[in-house]
Structure formats: C-alpha cells, structure tokens
Amino acid sequence: METKQFVTNVGLITSNGPYGNNVMACEWTHHISYTPFLIAVCIRTHKATFINITKSKEFGVNIAAFDQNFIASIAGNNSGKTVDKISVLKELGVAFYQGNKINTLMIQGASMNAECRLVQYIEIGDHPLLIGEALTLVDGQKQPLIYHEGKYWNKGTQIKKPDEEVLTQFATVINKFRKK
C-alpha cells in the first residue's frame, strides 16, 4: 500500500556516533508536543543516523529552508556509512555550528534548529519512531522546504479560513446536530 498525498517538511537530522558526524534527510519529522517540546523522527534501523542516535542518545533537527533543497538531496541520497556527507556539504559551502547542549553539528540557515535528547524509542512498522525532547530551539527567518510527491516545493498562496459570517452559519448547523 502506498500514497504520495502526504505533504511534509524535510528534517535534516544531524548526529554523531559510531559513524561520526552525519546528516540525513528525513521527511518523517514531526513536532508532537509543546510541553515538553517533543519531536519525532522515523528512521530505519540499518541507517547510520539511527545507529548514531541510539548510541549517543541525542540528535539535531534542522528543518530545511526553501533554499536548502540541495542539502536534502545530498543527505538523502547518500549513506553515512560510505560517504562523509558533512565534508561534502562543507566543500559545497554549507555552514555548520557545534550544538550547545549536544555533541553534534547543526546546520546554519535552516528554517528551524532543535538540539534534542532521545527520550523514547518505539519499534513500529518499517521506520521505528525516535522521540526527542528539544533542549534548545532556534526559529530561523527562512520559510521551510516542502516535500510532496517526491518533489520539493515552496509555500504557496495562503488559503484563508472561512470568515465570521460563514462560521456563524456553520455554528447553526453544528448546534442542530449537537449530541445530548
């Protein structure tokens, strides 16, 4: 079973462990709680990033900005087991900085950066869930890169929510069918 109708961001997940400093592109990167601030990533168990995270118990979440599609392509199409992706990206001009609370690199210019401590691992399906608590959070100024149908996108035109008059009409119908 498969569908390409989900719309996601691109999480550039940084880690440091047995495979050294590494970055992978993870389209399954989700904010799942405000208090505590939790982020979930789904990563296959044979990936270098998964092994780094489960050994170090920490990782960086760098939400790719709209102009970082090439970082996502390099990070997503190469294995940290066979390619030093950090060196490749540095050679191509990508700037990194050392995390303040974790021992891994973070990507400058991302839409958002979060330094995370692994708090839970859930073995589920073919992409286990790793949940991290954000120890630091930096909201960048750039719009996030969007991933849909195997392609990268910019945010498009905003679709406005219904106006008050329409919401009032909805409320009338909702009240008509309110459970007692």
Number of structural domains the chain divides into: 1
Distance between CA atoms of 96 and 108, rounded to whole angstroms?
A: 5
Please determine, for residue 32, whether its predicted confidence score (pLDDT) is greater than 90. Answer: yes
Residue 178 covered by a domain: no
Domain range spanning residue 136? 7-155
143: in domain = yes
What confidence tier does 6 reach under pLDDT thresholds 50, 70, 90? confident
The mean of the pLDDT values for the chain is 95
CATH classification at residue 44: 2.30.110.10
DSSP 34: T
Please work out, in degrees rounded to the nearest 5, the angle formed at the alpha carbon of residue 41 by the alpha carbons of 27 and 66: 35
Per the CB < 8 A criterion, the answer to whether 65 and 145 are in contact is: yes
The answer to whether position 41 is within a domain reads: yes
pLDDT, average across residues 125-152: 93
Whether residue 122 is contained in a domain is answered as: yes
Q: Is 93 left (phi over 0), alpha (psi -120 to 50) or beta?
A: left
pLDDT at residue 126, rounded to an integer: 81
The residue whose two tokens read 């960086």 is: 60
Q: Is residue 161 part of a domain?
A: no
Query: Does 102 map to a domain?
Result: yes
Nearest 5 degrees, angle CA 142-CA 147-CA 150? Answer: 150
**Under 8 Å between Cβ of 18 and 51:** yes
Has residue 172 been placed in a domain?
no
Share of residues in the chain with pLDDT > 70 (%): 100
Exposed / middle / buried, residue 14 (Cβ in 10 Å: 0-12, 13-18, 19+): buried
Mean pLDDT for 120-143 is 94
Domain assignment present for 160: no
Res 41: pLDDT? 97
- What pLDDT is stored for residue 21 in this prediction? 98
Judging by DSSP bridges, how do beta strands 20-26 and 11-17 pair with one another? antiparallel
pLDDT in tens, 61-100: 999 999 999 999 999 999 999 999 999 999 999 999 999 9
